[in-house]
Amino acid sequence: MRRLIEIWPDSGRDEFALVIDRRRRHRVLIVPPLLAEMNRMRRLVATTMRALDVHGIDSFAPDLPGTNESAAPLFSQSLHTWRTAMERAARHFTATHVLAVRGGALIFPNVLPGWVLEPVSGAAILRQMVRARVVAARERGDHEDSATLIETGRTEGLMLSGYDLGPGLIAGLETARPLDEGQRQIHQSELGGAALWLRAEPGDDPAQAVRLADIIAGGISA
Amino acid sequence: MSDRIDHTLRTVLGDVLGLTPTRRDALTPGSPLFGALPELDSMAVATLFGAIEERFDLFINDDEISGEVLETYGTLLIFIRGKCAA
């Protein structure tokens, strides 16, 4: 059986996942990067899944509630709700391994063996998004400063790069550290080519996806 | 003039803007950046400066990020040289 989009149950609501499932032994849950970085890396994730399929490995990339196709409100999400959702997805898809990408390392089920690709702190993600807002304000001739914005965000939430982030998520990001516990860290230099999460326009790099899938397949068969 | 700072800055710009190596190497001090490169919106500017901080191990205050710094490749290079020397 092979289906591309599958529904999985989160608390009280269905969510979607991109899925390549042939009921095989090795099943990798892919926990995506957060927010803006997720858009930039969506194609890399999908291409990696196809490359894993060639290696005989099933994979699952669930939407984080409140993002992508999800009907849940983003504003009510927090790192905790995302963590819980990823645990549920891991159980639903009976994942045997996990690949967390960038900010995905803040919310992935770290009881599974697997890999963490260039993990990033919550503070770094937040700082970049707040900075984008400060720069945009300056272009309009307005003034906003990061410290005040974050303080407001902590109590009222904050609109950043078109994402309506609630106070829970802002507060969580401020202190969150990657959760990897024995998972193998993969560095961008191992994939060759430029980091796609830096790319202003979402891009693709099939060669990187093939290398990433090779590392995962090599780790599983080792 | 090519040196480590120049080379690293070209690489970072190329990564963020998805420039081909040819386009990246063709940047001169007079090459306009902000306003000339459609990819360079506020999110890309924030990403660019985040990547610069990481590669050069620098801290850049939000107030230092201005249209003047991003006017040309040359103005950005001078700014980074100044930060590295500070």
Reported as a single tens digit per residue, the pLDDT across B39-82 is 788 889 999 999 999 899 999 999 999 889 999 999 999 999 99
CB-based contact A124 B50, cutoff 8 Å? yes
A201 lies within 8 A of chain B by CB: yes
Distance CA A50, CA A208 (A): 12
Compare CB distances from B62 to A129, A145, A199 and report the shortest one's residue. A145
| Under-50 pLDDT residues of chain A | 1
Strands A163-165 and A5-10: what pairing? unpaired
Distance CA A198, CA A71 (A): 28
Q: Choosing among B47, B54, B55, which should be mutated to test the A contact, i.e. which has the most A CBs within 10 A?
A: B47
Which structure tokens are listed for A37? 């970085």
Is the CB of residue A49 less than 8 Å from the CB of residue A26? no
Is the CB of residue B10 less than 8 Å from the CB of residue B27? yes
Helix ranges, chain A (H)? 36-54, 79-92, 122-139, 146-156, 167-175, 188-191, 206-221
User: If DSSP codes are grouped into helix, strand and coil, which group holds residue A125?
Assistant: helix
CB-based contact A136 B42, cutoff 8 Å? yes
Q: Which amino acid is present at A147?
A: A
Task: Note the pLDDT of residue A163.
Answer: 96
A200 lies within 8 A of chain B by CB: yes
Query: What is the helix, strand, coil percentage profile of chain B, to 5?
Result: 60, 0, 40
Task: Note the pLDDT of residue A2.
Answer: 60
Q: How many CA atoms lie within 13 A of A21 on its CB side?
A: 19
pTM equals 0.93
Q: Choosing among B62, B65, B66, B70, which should be mutated to test the A contact, i.e. which has the most A CBs within 10 A?
A: B62
Task: Note the pLDDT of residue A203.
Answer: 84
Q: Choosing among A127, A140, A198, A201, which should be mutated to test the B contact, i.e. which has the most B CBs within 10 A?
A: A198
A135 lies within 8 A of chain B by CB: yes
B18 lies within 8 A of chain A by CB: yes
* Residue in the block written with tokens 């993990």: A119
Task: Note the pLDDT of residue A217.
Answer: 98
The DSSP call for residue A33 is P
CA distances from A149 to A126, A137, A167 (A): 11, 12, 12
The DSSP call for residue A160 is E
Distance CA A54, CA A183 (A): 23
Shortest distance between the Cα of A220 and any Cα of chain B, in A, equals 31
Instruction: Note the ipTM here.
Output: 0.88
* Residue in the block written with tokens 């801290």: B59
Task: Give the CA diameter of chain B.
Answer: 32
Compare CB distances from B50 to A128, A134, A200 and report the shortest one's residue. A128
